[in-house]
Amino acid sequence: MRGRYSLAVYLTGATIARTGDELSGPALLLLGMSVDGSAATGSALLAGLTISAAAGGPLLGALLDRSPQPGRLLAWALLAYAGGLGAVLALVELPAAIAVAVAVGLLNPALAGGWTAQLPNVRGTTPLARASTLDAMTFTAASLAGPGLAGLVAAYAGAPAAVAVAITLVAAAFPAAWSLPVAEAKPVTPIRRQLADGFTVLFRNRALLRATATSTVSFVGIGVAVVCYPLLGAQRLGNPGFGALLLTVLAAASLVANGALTRRPPPPDGTVLASTVLLGASFLLAATAHDAVTLLAAAVLAGFAEGPQLSALFAIRHRETPARVRAQVFTTAASVKITGLAAGAAAAGPLSALSVTTALSAAAGCQLLAAATYVLVRARTPSPARAA
């Protein structure tokens, strides 16, 4: 089975599912706004979708690790995610729709860490570092296509149609997930023990803990910056749409950077630190910029940092995590990062009310704090993860 399942199939399925995921957030935001014209309604639906990820990640990952056919479990999770989005679309009462969005959010880590945990079983002869970079590029491609597609469909066919497209894309990845290779036989352990083992690996392995803690703090700052870019467009370029364009430039630069590093990925541990510092510099540049050229340069700089940071994180997790808890570590780390991003986006509101410069300076400060976290959490000498 492993010989017949190609890395190209994996990357295609992951890209489709993650594009649907990236599309679903903005689509729900637009859907909520279309109900009563209030941004609060849309943000409530979006918050509901993201807030529960931290709770769902560890359990979902532990179940994937225990399953002899993780691809089928992942496929059902994708179908349930798509069905949950459909339920949100069908519901009229807002409290019920938000409750369903919270329940759907529990499955969100499946679209991130759940896929990536299967990468060592499908990479074939491709070096793991290169496969990790290609996998990270699927996230970037999805973040580039998803929000733009949501806005385009909503503009011409309405917000419900945008949600429907997200549902279709997530469901379309079902065959690629279903046909993932069967896992090697593992000792059966109680679910509580399985969860405890995963958390033990995540918190006791210093290299893994350092990368996870650093990226989580970094993503708080990224969450602040994502909210600030449309404000930059409105205040300094005269149109919030130009701010959305800056986010597109950031994603494109991220894709280019990872594409350039595919053949010879740099050492991942140092890349996490360097990319975090570079993100801080880009946010400071954006905070002080007042012309289009400088703002574009700041967005490109941020993309050159964000893409390699994600690739390096994947490489470290694959290197340090034993196969028996790999999915749990990936989904837990993904859920924590989603929570960090949501926290940053929430903090951006009151910070940007003071000024967009203040908010972006805070985003840069988060990167400085992330770099300090990297330095303070000393890692042991990296060692390849054991298969058992």
pLDDT tens per residue across span 273-287: 999 999 999 999 999
- pLDDT at 76 > cutoff 60: yes
Long-range contacts of 147-150 (CB under 8 A, 24+ apart): 147/22, 147/23, 147/25, 147/26, 147/244, 147/247, 148/248, 149/19, 149/23, 150/23, 150/26, 150/27, 150/30
Q: Which residue has the tokens 């149109």?
A: 239
Which residues lie below 8 Å from residue 384, measured CB to CB, with a gap of 6+? Answer: 319
**DSSP assignment letter at 290:** -
8 A C-beta contact, residue 354 and residue 231:
no
| Nearest Cα residue to 212 out of 109, 309, 342, 114 | 309
Tokens at residue 129, please?
Answer: 């570092």
**What are the helix and strand counts (H, E) for the chain?**
16, 0
CATH number of 1-178: 1.20.1250.20
The confidence score (pLDDT) of residue 381 equals: 43
DSSP class of residue 5 equals S
pTM comes to 0.77
184 vs 291, residue with greater confidence: 291
Question: What pLDDT, on the 0 to 100 scale, is given for residue 42?
Answer: 66
Dihedral angle at the C-alpha atoms of 373, 378, 382, 384, nearest 10 degrees?
Answer: -70
In contact, 93 and 370? CB cutoff 8 Å: no
Give the model's pLDDT for residue 273.
94
Q: For residues 259-289, b (16+ Cβ closer than 10 Å) or e, as one string?
A: eebbeebeebbebbbbbbebbbebbbbbbeb
Q: What pLDDT does 387 receive?
A: 40
CB 377 within 8 A of CB 273: no
**Where exactly are the structural domains of the chain?**
1-178, 197-380
How far is Cα 131 from Cα 125, in angstroms, rounded to an integer?
10
Question: pLDDT band at residue 382, thresholds of 50, 70 and 90?
Answer: very low
Q: Which CATH number fits domain 197-380: 1.10.3210.50, 1.20.1250.20, 1.10.260.40, 3.40.50.300?
A: 1.20.1250.20
- pLDDT tens readout for residues 222-276: 888 887 887 788 788 877 667 777 878 888 898 899 888 887 888 999 999 999 9
Whether residue 183 contacts residue 326, with contact meaning beta carbons closer than 8 Å, is answered with no
Percent of the chain topping pLDDT 90: 28
146-198 pLDDT, tens digit each: 877 887 888 788 889 989 999 999 999 999 999 988 877 566 677 777 778 77
pLDDT tier at 324, thresholds 50, 70, 90: confident
When comparing pLDDT for 343 and 221, which is higher? 221
